[in-house]
Amino acid sequence: METQEALRAHVQRYVPAPLLEARRAVIRGVRRARAEWPLAALQLGRLGTLDYRRRGVLVGRLLDVHANIVCAHTHHEMVHILREVFAIADDVPGVIVEAGCFKGGSTAKLSIAAAEIGRRLIVFDSFEGIPDNSEPHDKTLFGDDARFAAGSYAGGLSEVSDNVRRWGELDVCEMRPGWFENTLPSFREPVAVAFVDVDLAASTRTCLQHLYPLLIPGGVIFSHDGHLPLCLEVLRDRAMWREIGAPAPEFSGLGKDKLVAIRKPREHGGNRVTSDWRKAPRGRSSSPRASS
């Protein structure tokens, strides 16, 4: 590291400052283009019934949300979720659910999609941050620190609502404030797509136990905590899935990615959990909340 710093200082003595700044600008531009490429692909490809112009408007609004609200996800992750939202058939029931909304960045984006397809977005969050816990989190699958102190990652109800009102579609949202164990048991509506970003293994278990039975056949729950070993243990808990009693899920990204897709089979095919349990983790989130 010291050698690199010395080399950089040496180069800077002989290379004009404008040229160095131009180089930095190019590097920033390449990184931004790489991060935003999923949005460009979203606009260029098919997305439900949206034509090219409406896809462009959607992408512009997604960029506005990302620039103005702290988001814990990447564009790639949100595009993956939105494709599932727009793939919901018109003739099937189901709301969109979010559990754990942080500052409301993902809420705003999901609300825009929900408004486009005429669905409601139900948002579960304490709006007080992470609950008191003694879970021994240490490192993520990718080697980052994972710390979840009580009260961290908080977004107040008024703050989240104001963010969604300004950048999303608050009219389609229904906020359910409170701890998951108090708010989810009384929820009974069919769920088409859910996004769960709750950080703790106990919260992950609670959300799956109450949301998966409500998931329509072919529906998907996305967990944004697949990089956390303790949450990964929950996702792989065969006893929990047997206790839930619904058809065992099909996983995508389990043990490899931060965003894990948990799909309910369209047909009952026994009680087999479909996933590759042995592959090494791949990719890592570059979001501000990469360890949460």
Specify burial of residue 74 (Cβ count, 10 A radius: 0-12, 13-18, 19+).
buried
- Residue 247 has a pLDDT of 83
- Residue 236 has a pLDDT of 95
Rounded Cα distance, 50 and 68, in Å? 25
- Residue 288 has a pLDDT of 45
- Residue 219 has a pLDDT of 97
Q: Work out the mean pLDDT of the chain and round it to a whole number.
A: 87
Cα–Cα separations (whole angstroms), residue 162 to 15, 104, 157, 222? 47, 9, 8, 25
Specify burial of residue 52 (Cβ count, 10 A radius: 0-12, 13-18, 19+).
exposed
Instruction: Determine the 3-state secondary structure of 266 from DSSP.
Output: coil
Going by C-alpha positions, the residue among 127, 125, 128 that lies closest to residue 151 is 128
- Residue 248 has a pLDDT of 86
What is the residue whose two structure tokens read 């139900």?
122
Residues of the chain with pLDDT under 50: 27, 30, 269-288, 290-292
Token output for 206:
């609670």
- Residue 4 has a pLDDT of 67
Q: Are 185 and 178 in contact (CB under 8 A)?
A: no
Rounded Cα distance, 224 and 237, in Å? 17
Query: Model-level pTM?
Result: 0.83
Rounded Cα distance, 83 and 79, in Å? 6
Q: Pairing between strand 191-196 and 95-99?
A: parallel
What are 26-75's pLDDT values in tens digits? 545 545 556 578 899 999 999 999 999 999 999 999 999 999 999 999 99
- Residue 17 has a pLDDT of 64
Q: Are 262 and 220 in contact (CB under 8 A)?
A: yes
